[in-house]
Structure 1
């Protein structure tokens, strides 16, 4: 065991952890921040991306001791209370969330991009996301969401959502309807099988 001191989402944490711990394991098992998902465990899919001193890292292979004295931001730390980060709200508005498992990784990678590029081009976005995979959403809506969030960051109105007008309030044919638990998916609160913890679990 070794003592580590880090700042996670603005909170200073001092804790003894096994020296073999990865950052993803530390966040999920020790701190209960299950918004950071684990996919390949080989730094190939980008699902586990978090920011360490503002730099995106694959937390599934990043040794926790390397984070000593550093600031870590996870998907749970982006929103300000009930106010979603522009990336989170635009991922919802532009239909860039489906199953949601890879959404935290996409959003955290995008957050780092917008820190460096306030007006990213499509190519900038594609390059930033080249190692962050999503199998069910499709990247067109993700690119639109990021560009829209970038506009908000520059004080401009977000991009309009392409959504046909309908006469009947309950008519959902041909219009976008937010998926269930979509806010939970963009904030890291959504639970998947490996996120549940019960008393007495081994």
Structure 2
């Protein structure tokens, strides 16, 4: 298989590596750099889960040819926070309960970041249009939209929008109150690992082989 040299900057760090010409950007990030925060959902650019920014533009990295990013600056979920300080979008996702299973969270956050960079004051319709190709099966998007509005407000210097908590009776001030999930921080920073993110020495890979015939009688 033909290979070539890629020169690329990822999360502020320059790389120069010999890689296959058929490599996608997602494969490079996950397999060559070990940045598994970028998740793979459909591998057909239909779900938006793999979204990263190439020179500030959101792209579906699962089908994006690596060599199309030659000389580019790539930003992934791992590069969004500044040390221990979360980006306002990441913090808003935590504050507004916009993180559940977390698998789609990196794609949502990177898409939101690109939107706010382009439009610092997006309304609900702007947000819905930006997210139309980024699927989330857990949240129903309501908390995601609130989080993006809050992050945009904070970035504009107007402060985050408070999360509306339902009124509770005095006996329920502690028990029954929503609390931060301990795993949420890993999910908004790309540190959360799922089955496909694990690699072991000598690891074997398998795939499903399906019948070529939708209906047939087995004779032998």
Normalised to the residue count of structure 1, the TM-score between the two structures is 0.96
Alignment deviations for residues 69-108 of structure 1 (CA, whole Å, 9 cap, x no partner)? 0000000000000000000000000000000000000000
Match for residue 91 of structure 1?
A: 93
Runs of 4+ with deviation above 3 angstroms = 164-170
Alignment deviations for residues 28-53 of structure 1 (CA, whole Å, 9 cap, x no partner)? 00000000000000000000000000
Match for residue 194 of structure 2?
A: 192
Mapped to 2, the partners of 1:176 and 1:149 lie a distance apart of 21
Aligned residues: CA RMSD: 1.4
Matched, 1:22 2:20: no
Match for residue 103 of structure 2?
A: 101
- 5+ residue gaps, structure 1: none
1:165 deviates by: 5.9
Equivalent pairs, count? 201
User: Is the contact made by 1:98 and 1:179 (CA closer than 8 Å) also made in structure 2?
Assistant: no
Mapped to 2, the partners of 1:88 and 1:158 lie a distance apart of 12
Normalised to the residue count of structure 2, the TM-score between the two structures is 0.88
Match for residue 122 of structure 2?
A: 120
Mapped to 1, the partners of 2:123 and 2:72 lie a distance apart of 30
Matched, 1:61 2:63: yes
Larger Rg: 2
Mapped to 2, the partners of 1:176 and 1:121 lie a distance apart of 27
Mapped to 1, the partners of 2:142 and 2:175 lie a distance apart of 22
User: Is the contact made by 1:42 and 1:60 (CA closer than 8 Å) also made in structure 2?
Assistant: yes
User: Is the contact made by 1:51 and 1:72 (CA closer than 8 Å) also made in structure 2?
Assistant: yes
Change (3 A) 1:172 1:26: farther
Q: 2:14 aligns with which of 12, 15, 22?
A: 12
Mapped to 1, the partners of 2:39 and 2:95 lie a distance apart of 23
Match for residue 183 of structure 2?
A: 181
1:197 deviates by: 1.2
Match for residue 213 of structure 2?
A: none
1:23 deviates by: 0.3
Mapped to 2, the partners of 1:24 and 1:14 lie a distance apart of 16
- 5+ residue gaps, structure 2: 205-220
1:171 deviates by: 2.2
